[in-house]
Amino acid sequence: MKNTKCSQCGLVNWADDETCKRCGWQLDWQYNPPPQFDSAAPEPDQLFSSSLTFLLAVLLLAIAAFLSHRVFHVIDLETAKTVAVITMLGGIGLYILAHLWLLLRIFEQSAVWGIATLFIPLAGLIAVSKFWEKTRRSFIGQLLCVGIVLVGSQIAPR
C-alpha cells in the first residue's frame, strides 16, 4: 500500500487517510490551505508539573504540621515526633528520587556532563545552569525536598 507524507508535520500516513494522524492536516494534495500563523509567541512550558505540585503539597502539609505543634499547640509531643520522623524520611526518599530525576535529565543532554555530575560535586550545578530549560523542574524538585526535610526536622523540639 502506498503512503502519503504530511506536508505540515512530516508524518507518513496511509494513502487512504484523509487527514494526518498527528496534526490533523488535510492530506488531499488538491486541498492545502495556507498555514495560519499566530502572531502571539508560543507559550512556554509550565514550571510546575504534577510532580512539583505534589512536592509543594507535601511541603505545605509539613509546614501545617509545624505550625500545628510549634505555634498553635494542637498536636501533642508524641504525635509531633512521629509526624517529624515520617516527614523527614519521606523528604529524604523524595530527595533521592528528585536527584535521580535530575541526573536522568542531565544525562539526556550530555553523557559527559552526566558522568561529571556523578563524580564532581560542583559539576552538577554547572550542568543545571547550562541545561536550565531541561533541568529546572528536577532542580526545583530537589529544593522542595530539602525544604520538606528542613521543616520536618523542626516540627518536634529536640
Cα–Cα distance list, 14 to 7, 10, 28, 50 (Å):
14, 13, 12, 36
Cα–Cα distance list, 95 to 17, 52, 102, 143 (Å):
48, 12, 10, 8
> For position 15, what pLDDT does the model report?
76
> For position 85, what pLDDT does the model report?
96
> For position 29, what pLDDT does the model report?
55
> For position 132, what pLDDT does the model report?
95
> For position 64, what pLDDT does the model report?
96
> For position 91, what pLDDT does the model report?
97
Phi, psi of 94 (to 5 degrees): -65, -35
Strand-pair partners of 92: none
> For position 27, what pLDDT does the model report?
79
Alpha-carbon Rg for the chain, nearest whole angstrom, is 24
User: What helix, strand, coil percent values describe the chain, rounded to 5?
Assistant: 60, 5, 35
Q: What is the pLDDT along the chain (158 residues), one digit of tens a residue?
A: 578 888 888 888 877 788 888 888 887 654 445 566 665 656 666 777 899 999 999 999 999 999 999 999 999 999 999 999 999 999 999 999 999 999 999 999 999 999 999 999 899 999 999 999 999 999 999 999 999 999 999 998 77
| Greatest CA separation for the chain | 77
